[in-house]
Amino acid sequence: MANQKIKEDMSFLEHLEVFRWHLIRSAFAVMFFAVLAFIFKGIVFDGVLLAPKNPDFPTYKILCLLSQKLGMGDTLCMDELPFILMNISMSGQFSTHIMTSIVVGFVVAFPYIFWEMWKFISPALYDKESNVAKGVVFFSSSLFIFGVLFGYYVVAPLSVHFLGSYQISETVANQISLSSFISTVTTVCLANGVVFELPILVYFLTKIGLLTPEFMRTYRKHALVLTLIFSAIITPPDVTSQVLVALPLMVLYEISIKISARVLRKQEKELKKQ
């Protein structure tokens, strides 16, 4: 019994050791891309993160074109963003540079990080489950990237324009700190990347029997309320951004119901064959 206990303890420790190396490799991947982002700061900041403050950002051009096509004139055109970015801390720009580089490193390395986590989890699956979930790394990475791009090109620029141009009085000028601006853009992008993973989460919860399509349909209204609350938490405090995040979330929720139903149908067919 004592030997068996030692073997069980060793087996658990071996699992921890394997998991530790997966984490270490993931951390190295993040740091590798973070260093590249730190070196190429011109591309990261001027070309990407600070781009939504420029009137020639693609989203603003599309909105202006759409406004003219709909006969609304220049209503949706954004010629300039009436705010100035500023740094008020001695180490503000340097610390922002470091933290942003780490965030960029995580975003770029996400497919590899997920692959490492999947390599740790997949040996515990049965052969049938492993075959079904072969494309999970590709689909999860694609959804994450699509969510980040949606946040960057849709939610972030509209949030920046709304919050940057909002004034309670013309006598109060908007001078926004660099850290606040970067935090808004990166938070919106990361949050959207995470919430776009909903179909993958529903797939696995259905596979292990914790979720059913009937449950999701029954609590659809509750999900709508939770979605609005979640959108309010992860987005800047303006209604436009909350709605823009909530709409794709609800679409993903409906898609997840269909995914859950499909998983259950496949499981029922396999049971009948047995």
Query: Which tens digit of pLDDT belongs to each residue from 151-187?
Result: 899 888 888 887 787 788 888 888 889 988 998 899 8
6 pLDDT more than 80: no
Secondary structure of 80-93 in HEC code, one letter for each residue:
CCCEEEECCCCCHH
| Predicted local confidence at residue 238, as pLDDT | 60
Q: Is 13 within 8 Å of 114 (Cβ atoms)?
A: no
| Predicted local confidence at residue 17, as pLDDT | 83
Average pLDDT over residues 72-80: 75
In angstroms, how far is CA 254 from the centroid of its own chain? Answer: 19
Element (H, E) at 175: strand 174-177
| Predicted local confidence at residue 240, as pLDDT | 64
> Nearest 5°: phi and psi at 242?
-65, -45
Higher pLDDT, 261 or 266: 261
Compute the distance between CA of residue 194 and CA of residue 140 in angstroms, rounded to an integer: 10
H-type alpha helices, the chain = 2-39, 41, 58-69, 92-121, 127-132, 136-150, 156-165, 178-195, 198-207, 213-218, 220-234, 239-273
> Quick one: 245 exposed, middle or buried, by C-beta within 10 A (0-12, 13-18, 19+)?
buried
Compute the distance between CA of residue 85 and CA of residue 54 in angstroms, rounded to an integer: 12
Compute the distance between CA of residue 267 and CA of residue 258 in angstroms, rounded to an integer: 14
In angstroms, how far is CA 65 from the centroid of its own chain? Answer: 28
In angstroms, how far is CA 58 from the centroid of its own chain? Answer: 21
8-state DSSP, 96: H
For residue 8, the tally of other CB atoms under 10 A from its CB is: 10
Name the residue among 194, 197, 211 with its Cα closest to residue 262. 211
Conformation bin of residue 212: beta by default, left when phi > 0, alpha when psi is -120 to 50: beta
Q: Is 105 within 8 Å of 188 (Cβ atoms)?
A: no
Q: What is the pTM of this model?
A: 0.81
Higher pLDDT, 159 or 235: 159
11 pLDDT more than 70: no
8-state DSSP, 76: T
Higher pLDDT, 177 or 135: 177
> Quick one: 210 exposed, middle or buried, by C-beta within 10 A (0-12, 13-18, 19+)?
exposed
Compute the distance between CA of residue 269 and CA of residue 41 in angstroms, rounded to an integer: 54
8-state DSSP, 124: G
